[in-house]
Chain A
Amino acid sequence: MPLGWTMGINVRMKNLMALLRRHTIWLVLLAMVVFMSLVSKSFLTATNLLNVLRQVSMAGIVSVGMTVVLIGGNFDLSVGATVTLAAVVSVYLQPTTAMNTAVSLIVPLLLGLLVGAVNGAIIGGLKANSVVVTVGTQFAVLGATLLYTGGQHVWVWTPTPFYEAISGGYFLGVPIPIFIFLLTVLAAHWLMTRTTFGRYVRAIGSNDEAARLSGIPTTLYRMLTFIFSGFCAALAGIVLASRVKNLDPTAGVGYEFSALTAAILGGTRLSGGVGNVLNTLAGVLILGGISNSMILLNMSFNTQLLARGLIFVGAVAIDAFSQRHRR
């Protein structure tokens, strides 16, 4: 073999290894996939993988929004309530005709933007504690949703094919929610790495005072992160509504939790300024893969909890170790 060619391969491998080591969470994902395909013959089938991807797409969309907010140095614990609100309103507006379908898509998104704007105004404008404010918003929005529905289900029996397709349709053999999820990931990644928005948000998250002093309109950009998060939550809510079409008024509760988990697994730092939407994607896939695997292995609920905790800590420990050794 010509030396140059071998050296070329070595250099490429080295780059790949360096890349993987920097984003160890993908290694963890790989390890999990390998493990599961050895243990269960139904894991690595197209149907199963597509199912998993579809199952995580809703939580995944929310995780993307959460990552952006976290990078900006804040938390958004109201996303679960926003998902619920969007989903409930979307179904309640009865997308049985073309006109109604359009409304069922636009209004929830607007509501998501609104909730985000409210969060953003208070937290952005006053640098208020984002945990307490978004918990407050969560309560208020959930209460409003319950009032709106009287605590009852909302459902739509005959939605238009378009509405159905949002969650049930296929494009090139791949379920549409997956496309929506991946598009959101790519859009957010582009936003965070190639635009002023991303630079500013990162600066605000790293050191707010410094960012402000260097002329960045911190209030505006903080607010924008929340608006983006609200939008993502509403989008996920619409996909959820399309998937189930019959909703409990508490349908989306808990999404903030998995979104935070996925973002943190993906290396987003809680103190702000550090985070990568693509790595959050890895976090989302890991969480989805774990749930799927445990059902395929027919593990009892109790064992699942234990296993989930241990895997979780393990994944982060590996990540933490690799970070340490790099220094």
Chain B
Amino acid sequence: MNRARVWNWLVKQRILPILDVLLLVMVTVGTRDFWTIRNLQNLTVAVGIEGVIAVGMTVVMVGGGIDLSVGSVMALAGVLSVSMQRFGIVGAIAIAVLAASLCGAGSGLLVTRLGINPFIATLGMMLVARGAVMTYTDAQPVANANLLFTQIARGKLGLLPIPGLVFLAALLLGHWFLRYTRLGRDIYALGGNEEAARASGIRTDRVKLAAYTLTGLSAGVAGVLLASRLSTGSPVIGEDTALNVITAVLLGGTSLTGGVGSMPGTLTGLLTVGVLSNSLNLFNVPAYYQRIAKGMLLILVVFFDSLYVRYRRQALLRTRGKASEERLTSTS
């Protein structure tokens, strides 16, 4: 068995599944606490809440956009879901999700009507939403007194915690939406080549607006779940959410430039980071090493993945020649 052959084989695989398997093996043997029902439930909740946002983010990123406002919108929705309970729990949740969707639509309008770069538009929305919720609550968390509300995030359907259920539903819906609906396919087209999409009759402005509204909606749902879990509408949560979600989505194979991505990929990205965090905690790794470990993981994954892309590119060139060069140029 020589080194070159092992290396060659390794490079040909996508690194993420391999790393995930290794990670799972390590954590199975290394601690007896991973494969317990309790821990798996915890994992589901921890991944699930941000995961709902990741579903929305995948949609918007496949369309070539990005949304930095999700953390602030999540906080806004969370606060509203508690403070508006005079309209009943269902009413409060409805208001919260509606407000979040409006924020998403707002971002979408900034991008489509004013032609503002999505990064900046959603950055602005992030600041405005954060400012709004901080002013509304005077920077103090809003306590929830309703036990039924807390049950939403802390309850279970059988063995599956409700946030996990919501995440699963979002994931399946998102997958079906992207792959099998007209709008979903339009989003792929838009992300792949906006000019071509417009030329082929797709109402790109409407598609973009829909994508951003969906992301806002997903942030709203996540916000409600989080507020329920903490039994508090906190105006300061979500500072790192956008970055975490974007990282997970990118890790799962979605491209920053658009046109490439999938829900299963996003799920893999989310699970990788989630399982890593969980296992680092179970192993009682000190906080600083955890940070380094997460950083190394990201670098490792991207490193090997890029090798993979390069290998595929070279293979394609070998078999198909120069004509495929153009195709590669447009899909990088």
Taken together as a complex, chains A and B put the C-alpha atoms of A306 and B296 apart, in Å, by 37
Interface pair A313/B128, CB less than 8 Å apart: yes
Check A122 against B131 for contact (C-beta < 8 Å): no
- Which chain B residues have a beta carbon within 8 Å of chain A's beta carbons? 110, 114-117, 119-121, 123-132, 134-135, 138-139, 243, 246-247, 250-251, 256-257, 287-299, 301-303, 305-307, 309-310, 325, 328-329, 332
Which single member of B290, B295, B307 contacts A141 (CB below 8 Å)?
B295
A135 interfacial contact with B, CB 8 Å:
yes
Contacts of A122 in B (CB 8 A): 299, 302-303, 306
B134 → chain A closest CB, angstroms: 4
Contact A310 B128 (CB under 8 A): yes
Known contacts A143-B290, A301-B139; A308/B127 CB under 8 A: yes
Q: Which of A135-162 contact B (CB under 8 A)?
A: 135-144, 146-147, 151
Chain B, Cβ-Cβ closest to A304: B131
* A305 interfacial by beta-carbon distance below 8 Å: yes
Chain A interface extent, by class: 35 or more
- When distances are taken between beta carbons in the complex, the residues of chain A under 8 Å from B124 are 309-310, 312-313, 316
Contact present for B114 and A321 (CB under 8 Å): yes
Complex Cα distance, B295 from A306, in Å, reads: 33
> A302's contact among B134, B306, B325, by CB below 8 Å, is which?
B134
User: In angstroms, how far is the closest chain B Cβ from the Cβ of A114?
Assistant: 15
Q: Which of A192-208 contact B (CB under 8 A)?
A: 207-208
Contact check: which of B121, B289, B303, B328 meets A128 at CB < 8 Å?
B303
How many whole Å from A39's CB to the nearest CB in chain B?
A: 20
Residue among A261, A265, A312 with the highest chain B CB neighbour number at 10 A:
A312
Please tell me if A320 contacts chain B, counting CB pairs below 8 Å. Answer: yes
B302 contact from A132, A140, A208, A305, Cβ within 8 A? A132
- A309 contacts B120, CB within 8 Å? no
A209 adjacent to B332 (CB under 8 Å): yes
B295 contacts A137, CB within 8 Å? yes
Q: Judge if A307 is at the interface, Cβ distance under 8 Å.
A: yes
Is the Cβ of A132 less than 8 Å from the Cβ of B114?
A: no
Given A143-B291, A151-B288, A209 and B131 contact (CB-CB distance below 8 Å): no
CA distance A127 to B305 in the complex (A): 10
| Closest CB pairs A-B (n = 9) | A139-B295, A309-B127, A305-B131, A306-B131, A136-B298, A140-B295, A143-B291, A126-B306, A143-B292
30 contacts between A and B (CB under 8 A): A122-B299, A122-B303, A126-B306, A126-B307, A128-B303, A135-B298, A136-B296, A139-B298, A141-B295, A142-B291, A144-B288, A209-B328, A210-B329, A260-B119, A264-B117, A264-B120, A300-B135, A304-B131, A305-B131, A306-B131, A307-B131, A308-B131, A309-B125, A309-B126, A309-B130, A312-B123, A313-B120, A317-B114, A320-B115, A320-B117
Does A244 sit at the interface, judged by CB under 8 A?
no
- Least Cβ distance of A16 to chain B in Å? 26
Interface of chain B, main secondary structure: helix
Cβ contacts under 8 Å, A269 to chain B: 117
A264 / chain B contacts, CB cutoff of 8 Å: 117, 119-120
Q: Can you name the residue of chain B whose Cβ is closest to the Cβ of A271?
A: B257
A136 and B297 form a contact (CB under 8 A): yes
**B325 CB contacts on chain A under 8 angstroms:** 209
Q: How far is the CB of B103 from chain A (nearest CB, A)?
A: 11
Chain B residue contacts of A307, Cβ below 8 A: 131
Chain A residues within 8 Å of B123, by CB: 261, 312
Complex partner residue of A139 from B127, B292, B309, B310, CB under 8 angstroms = B292
Cβ-defined contact, B251 with A132, below 8 A:
yes
Bound Cα distance from A151 to B256, whole angstroms: 34
Q: How far is the CA of A127 from the CA of B309 in the complex (A)?
A: 9
In the complex, which residues 271-301 of chain A have their Cβ closer than 8 Å to any Cβ of chain B? 271, 300-301
